[in-house]
Each structure stands twice: as C-alpha cells, then as structure tokens.
Structure 1
Amino acid sequence: MTCIITDSGFLIKGNMYRPNHGRHRIVTSFQTAGASYLMWEPLPQCKAKHQRYVLPKRRCETITSVASHVTSRIALDDAQHRKELCERYGFRQIGEPLPDDVTLKNIVDTLPKTVFEIDDVKAWRSVLMSVTSYALGLFMISKSPWYLLPLSWAWTGTAITGFFVIGHDCAHKSFSKNKLLEDIVGTLAFMPLIYPYEPWRFKHDRHHAKTNMLGEDTAWQPIMKTNFDKSPVFRTAIMYGYGPIRPIMSISHWLFWHFDLSKFRPNETRRVKISLACVFAFIAIGWPLIIYKTGIVGWIKFWLMPWFGYHFWTSVFTMIHHTAPHIPFKSSEEWNAAQAQLNGTVHCDYPKWVEMFCHNINVHIPHHISTRIPNYNLKAAHKSLQENWGKYLNEASWNWRLMKTILTICHLYNEERNYISFEEVAPEISQPITFLKRVMPDYV
C-alpha cells in the first residue's frame, strides 16, 4: 500500500497490515542523505513477572520504506517551499502559480509593440554569423590535431545549431515579411542537418498550441507507467533514452516524427514531400561530395560529429525548456494555455558564446508567449515579462544539478506527483540511473 502524507511531503511505501498475535511491533525512524526510513521493530523482552502483559516474541521482521519527496502543486504557493525546491533542483527561481483567470492575451498585451517588429538587417546578420562561425568551425576541424578535434566539433556543432534557430524563426514567420523567402531560407537552413523543414514546422506548431499537454505535445512527452510496463525491451530502451543518452535523444524524435507521411494531414502531404525531397537530395549529393574529397573519416569529422553536437544542444534546450519535477503536464480538460506557456516554460542562461551562436533560443518564455517575436527581440521581451510577471517565471542558469535532476528524476509521469523516477518503479533494471546519480556532479 502507498500513502501520501501531504503536509510533510513524504511518500511512505510498504505492505501495511494489522499486527496479529506474536507480531507486535513499534516503529522507529532514521534518516540518511536524501531519504527517510521507517523500521518495524519487536517490542523489548521483559522479565517473567511482566510477561502477562507482553506477548512472547515469535518472529521479527524488518521492513524498510524509503520516503521520497512528493511534489505538490499546491505547495508551490508557499515561498519557502519554492526556495527549497530551487536549491534542490538547481533553479534560480521557481515561479508561483499563475492565477486561473489570467489569459495568454493578458500577458501578450503587456509586451512592448517593438518586440514584434521584424528587422531584415538583424535577421540577415544572424544568417551571416551562423555561416561565418560554421565555416570557421570546418576550418578548425581541418587544421586541428586529433586531441583538439573535440573542441572544434563543439564549436562547429554549436554554430550549426544556429542554422536550426534561423529555420525555426522562418517556420514561425518571424524572420522576414516575405513568406516565400522564409520558406526557402528555412528549407536551406535545415538541409545540412538532414532535417525536413515542413514536417518539423507542422509538428512544432502543435507543440506551441498544446505545450505540456499529456499525449498531445509533440516535443518531450513523459512516459506513462502503462506504456513502460508493456514490453521489457521498451523498458530497457527508455531507461537509457530518458537517462544517460537523453542529451542526444532528439535524434529519435527527428527520425520518428518527420519522415512518416502517415503522421500528417492530407493537406500537409505535398509540402512534406517537397521537404523530404530536399533532404534526400542533400544526402544524395552532399554526402558523396564530402566522402569524395575527404573519405569516410572526413565525413565523420566534418559532418557526423558536428551533427551530434547540434543534436546535443537541441536535446538539452528542448529538455530544459519544459521539464522539471515541479512543472506539470496536464490533460486537455485541466490544461490552461497561459499557465502552460508562462509557468510551464523555463528560461535558462547558457555561456555567452552558446547564446550568441544559437541566437537566444534559450530565452524561451517570451517565445512561448508569442511565436511572432524574432530571436533578436527575445531578450527585450523577457525583460518586459520580468517587470510585469516576474514572480511567475521559472529561471535557471545551466548547471550540473539542473541536468542531474532531469536525468535522474523526470521519468514516468504521475498526475498526482508529476514525475516518478525509474529507480522507484523498476529498481531491478535502473542501473543506468543509479550510475548517473553516482557520477554526475551535483553543484550549481
């Protein structure tokens, strides 16, 4: 039986039954780092003259029960509790709940009109920056000795992530006033990533329309226990996918969502086919040229490794934007747009060079308030949100504790507790999560 003591925020697990003759016990408790234990113990033996009051000891058992913290949505109303969660999860601020009567329009109306203005010079400057930094990265790869290649790949993978952000703005119609030009630039920006532009645009629009809605959001979707229990193979795969390899799990998302025509509406199919043709053309022409000039090893050095770097940033950005133990996913009946976009989105500061190469995609809350804000206006929009809605914002700086929290806690979804770790539901196969908890640093 499992019971939740809501006032204390502890979960107590264990088989509970009424003691019978010969099994009288008392309960003692003790704590270790991160866990509290309850232990059944036999009553002490008494001298003979008192034995008429004490049943003889026939059997004793020790039952340990780990008490893990339970996230309560109501508890976020408490400032002290939010402060404790900040420290525990690696956040700078956890926002208090947004009132139910606040609408998305109320929030949009507080933003300065200037943040919605498209500036062609700034837009093309971002293209020039991405092209230049990517070209410099390729040059660095060509000249680097083997021991400096990881640094060159990190630079180049981050630079090519900027291509994705440019295509991202094109898909949201915030790059140019010329919509045909946006589609062309978006398609070209996605091609080196082998990412079909139109399929991604259709699915990404759904993510914004249904952010953190259970079963509907097309970005990260938590695993439900019913799905987790279906197959041993799936259990093992998802244990790694939502654990050690989660920082590159966007690869599976890319492959699963964007190449299957059956996942799109009939009126979307034509544009999807055009995007797929462009991607396959790059594979058919670009890859052979790279191999012809540099060989298979050159293809790995110049294309594959930067591509992994891009997927690292895409996975990390998307994961942190909407995933934390205190951020709920909700059913369509409970879902509230303003709460999902303002309370359910995380602003995270990264190293300045990452923010520069990736065109402020990490300034994500204003982007979810309105997708019409160009990337170069996101910081001004975020400043406005801080002034008008600051107490409701979730903010962090990229740190080890934040990553460790997501990778070791945010696994299976439970509507009462938000997230349950794999360690709790399947300890016998949770070695990947145990390994992460042991080896990942815990400092902010």
Structure 2
Amino acid sequence: MSSVVVSTGTDTVNGGAEKTVSKNLTTRDTYGKAFKVPDYTIKDILSAIPKHCYERSLIRSLGYVVRDITCMCLISYAGSNLIPKVEIDQYEQLSKVLRGGLWCLQSYLIGLFGFGLWILAHECGHGAFSDYKNVNDFIGWVLHSYLMVPYFSWKFSHSKHHKATGHLTRDMVFIPYTKEEYKKAHNVSKLSEIMEDSPIRTLLGLIFQQIGGLQLYLATNATGQELKEYSMPYKSHYNPTSPIFEKNQFWYIVLSDIGIISTILMAYNWYKYDAFHMLINWFMPWLWVNHWLVFVTFLQHTDPTMPHYKDHEWNFARGAAATIDRDFGFIGQHIFHDIIETHVLHHYVSRIPFYNARDATKAIKEVMGDHYRYDGSSMWKALWDCSRACQFVDDEDVDGVMMFRNVNGVGVKPSD
C-alpha cells in the first residue's frame, strides 16, 4: 500500500524546535492491515487531560510502598513458619516435593510485589511519585538498589528513551534490526536465503531474554543503540563515563553503583548467615523481577501493529503512540500498579502518577482514536506471537515508516 502525502505538519516537544513531518501517510502492518500514521500533535493530547490527573500525593505513594513491602514480609514470614510444617503422613518424598513447590510459590509471590516496588521506584525516576525531587530520588535509589537496578543510571537512559520512543536511531532500548542489518547478521544477501526459525530456537531465545535480558542490557547496552566506536563493557550502565550519559551525570552514576555494591554486600552476608532463606526471599524473587521487567517492557514496545520511524518521519506524538496497552488482570492493576494497562499515556506524560493514569488514558483515547493500541489477549501468547512475527523492521511501503516483518511466514512476506 503506497503513501499519499498531501501536506506537512509541525510538532513541538518540550519547547524545542518544530519538527516537520509528512501528513496522511498509510502503510501496512505485519499482518497486511492498513496502518495510518498519527497526525495529531502533542498539544492535542495534553489539552485533553484533566488537570486533576497531574496531582501527586507523597502520602498516597508512600502508602503503596509500605503496602508492597508489608506484603513481601508477610509472605516471607508465613512461608518460613508454615511451609516447614507441611507433611503428609507416611509420604516423606511427597512431603519434600510439596514443600519445594510451596517455597517456589513463596518466591514467586514475593517477586510479584518486588516488581511492584520496582514500578514505584520507576515513578520516582519520572517525578510522578511526589512533588519533592530529593524525596523521589532517595526512595527510588533505595528501592532500585535493593532490586539491583542502578537508579540514576536507569533514570537518565530511560529519560532519553521517553524523549525518542520509536525513533530508529535515538531510542534507547528494544531497537529492532532493520532488514539490511538482519541480513548482515545472518551473512546473506537475500532474505530468502535465511531459514525459518524453528519454534525451539524461538523458545530458547525467549528463555535467555527473560532470564538474562535485563542484566545484559545494564552491563553492555544490549538492544540499545549500537555505538560501534565503543566496546560493550564501556557502554555499561555501571560506567560513569559511558557514552549513554552526559558528563555532568558522572557522580550520580557513581552513587548508583554504590547502591548496587551495598546490595551485593547485603546479599553476600545474608547468604553466609542463612543461604536458604536468602535464596528463597531475595535471589529467586530478584530473578522474577528481572523476568517481569523484560516481559512487560518488551510487550509495551513490540507488536506486529507497531511502527518505528526514521528521523524525517518521527515526532514526539508519533513516537509515544508507538506503544501499546495490554491487560494483565488483577496482577497488572493491583500489584503492578497499572504499568501495563496505561503505558501509552505514560509515554505522553510520564509525570502523571499511576493512580490517576486510567482517567488520563480515557481522555487521550478521545484524541488518539484508532491510533490508540490495546490488546486484551493473553500476554503470554502475545510474547510468543511477537517473538515469531517481529524480527526486523522495513519501510518498503512508506519511506521512513518502519513496520515489523519476519522470515517465519507470519503475515506479509518481506521483499528481498
């Protein structure tokens, strides 16, 4: 489907220079359905949001922190005192298996609320936690450090991600291959020379992504911009001189590293004192937090209907719309603090606290219309479908508007 350009428009972001983009563009998504590129402006979005949505309450936000920590402590206490007593008469082996399963359940539940804490720290980084910057940074630093995420390092790179979401060369995470990069990675001249990925290979890739994706990103900037002139360790979020940071952020990165080192020392001493309970109450829940973070962020920014843009067709309003809201039921709304269900709004105005985000989402949907993306299907199925369908992007239909394609026979067959 070819594009039709009838006029140009401008968009202004954060008081910056106006950005001219083509108007009335239409292309095809992965499944061959028409995709109309958004033409509304960020001003249209901001004008629609009720003023009360911007109100932040330190007491209310702290209440959620206390709630999540209390739940984690109660789960740990209940597990430590009740699980050892589980026993089935005359079935010692079955009793061990049952206790093992309950220990795993304990770690899983702690991990759910641990990710809830991660989201509250993420709110701190955006200034959505309260009106007090120093309070936000202190609480965010403590919570993220406990979860082994360098707070200021994440805050700074994540801010750049928000400023350039969906921009092919300026976004900071989940940067897809272009078609040419994908062919180069497979050392071929034509896509037809690439074998379809087997389901087993897709599954193994997903397992690696979910377990190690976050740590690889933090340590090497994997899935971020390539920055070919720098070595992978040099691009680390732990390196104060990394090119992903500004020079005046040096000591904040050091402070982030101090938080991580403190947690490592805490975990090491806990392990020496009581290895089993350290593994059940911190290490395994930490693995779950890693999983949830990659699971959620990948699916917020990857979908067969999702565009990416080259610079000449990107603006802030289009980039923020290159996200999708999904539904994770009770857990998403009440434990993950609606980070999944209101993420589109979050990319338009990140300083709105999560407890006001549903009202704001209703408001911007009126402006976005068909451009608002929502998928209420199983997120586990979506994880699989996106992994199979979203292998690289190409602008074969409209110059500068990049849509996902694949060699797995899903949807539109890509050109060589």
Give the structure-2-normalised TM-score: 0.73
Pair 1:378-2:357 in alignment: yes
How far is 1:99 from its partner? Answer: 4.0
Q: Is the partner of 1:187 in helix, strand or coil?
A: helix
How far is 1:81 from its partner? Answer: 4.1
Alpha-carbon distance in 2 for matches of 1:419, 1:413: 4
Pair 1:133-2:76 in alignment: no
Q: Is the partner of 1:74 in helix, strand or coil?
A: strand
User: What amino acid does structure 1 have at the position aligned with 2:48?
Assistant: T
Pair 1:313-2:292 in alignment: yes
User: What amino acid does structure 2 have at the position aligned with 1:210?
Assistant: A
Q: Trace 1:19-418 onto structure 2 (pairs within 5 A).
A: 73-75=26-28, 81=33, 97=36, 99-100=38-39, 102-142=40-80, 143-144=82-83, 145-228=99-182, 243-248=206-211, 249-257=213-221, 258-261=237-240, 262-263=242-243, 264-284=245-265, 286-295=266-275, 297-342=276-321, 344-362=322-340, 363-399=342-378, 400-416=380-396, 418=403
1:141-162 CA distance string (max 9 Å, x none): 4344201233222211110111
Q: Is the partner of 1:329 in helix, strand or coil?
A: strand
User: Larger Cα Rg: Structure 1 or Structure 2?
Assistant: 1
Alpha-carbon distance in 2 for matches of 1:415, 1:160: 40
How far is 1:227 from its partner? Answer: 4.4
How far is 1:268 from its partner? Answer: 0.9
How far is 1:109 from its partner? Answer: 0.9
Alpha-carbon distance in 1 for matches of 2:204, 2:178: 14
Alpha-carbon distance in 2 for matches of 1:111, 1:164: 26
How far is 1:395 from its partner? Answer: 0.5
Alpha-carbon distance in 1 for matches of 2:249, 2:151: 12
Which structure 1 segments of 5+ residues have no match? 1-5, 8-71, 83-95, 425-444
Q: Is the partner of 1:109 in helix, strand or coil?
A: helix
1:32-85 CA distance string (max 9 Å, x none): xxxxxxxxxxxxxxxxxxxxxxxxxxxxxxxxxxxxxxxx95247x9x946xxx
- Quote the residue 2:14 is aligned against: none
- Quote the residue 2:88 is aligned against: none
User: What amino acid does structure 2 have at the position aligned with 1:107?
Assistant: I
Contact 1:214–1:330 (Cα < 8 Å) also in 2: yes
How far is 1:225 from its partner? Answer: 4.8
Q: Is the partner of 1:314 in helix, strand or coil?
A: helix
Q: 1:241 to 1:370 in 2, by over 3 A?
A: farther
Alpha-carbon distance in 1 for matches of 2:355, 2:312: 35
- Quote the residue 2:5 is aligned against: none
User: What amino acid does structure 2 have at the position aligned with 1:74?
Assistant: T
Alpha-carbon distance in 2 for matches of 1:332, 1:389: 22
1:178-198 CA distance string (max 9 Å, x none): 211111001001011111100
- Quote the residue 1:420 is aligned against: 405
Alpha-carbon distance in 1 for matches of 2:383, 2:267: 34
Q: How many residues align?
A: 335
Contact 1:172–1:371 (Cα < 8 Å) also in 2: yes
User: What amino acid does structure 2 have at the position aligned with 1:97?
Assistant: K
How far is 1:135 from its partner? Answer: 1.5
Q: Is the partner of 1:319 in helix, strand or coil?
A: helix
Q: Which moved more, 1:248-257 or 1:146-155?
A: 248-257
Contact 1:321–1:347 (Cα < 8 Å) also in 2: yes
Q: 1:141 to 1:423 in 2, by over 3 A?
A: farther
Alpha-carbon distance in 2 for matches of 1:381, 1:152: 35
How far is 1:277 from its partner? Answer: 1.1
Contact 1:413–1:419 (Cα < 8 Å) also in 2: yes
Q: Is the partner of 2:313 in helix, strand or coil?
A: coil
- Quote the residue 2:6 is aligned against: none
Q: Is the partner of 1:245 in helix, strand or coil?
A: helix
Give the structure-1-normalised TM-score: 0.69
How far is 1:126 from its partner? Answer: 1.2
Alpha-carbon distance in 2 for matches of 1:133, 1:325: 37
Q: Is the partner of 1:283 in helix, strand or coil?
A: helix
How far is 1:242 from its partner? Answer: 5.2
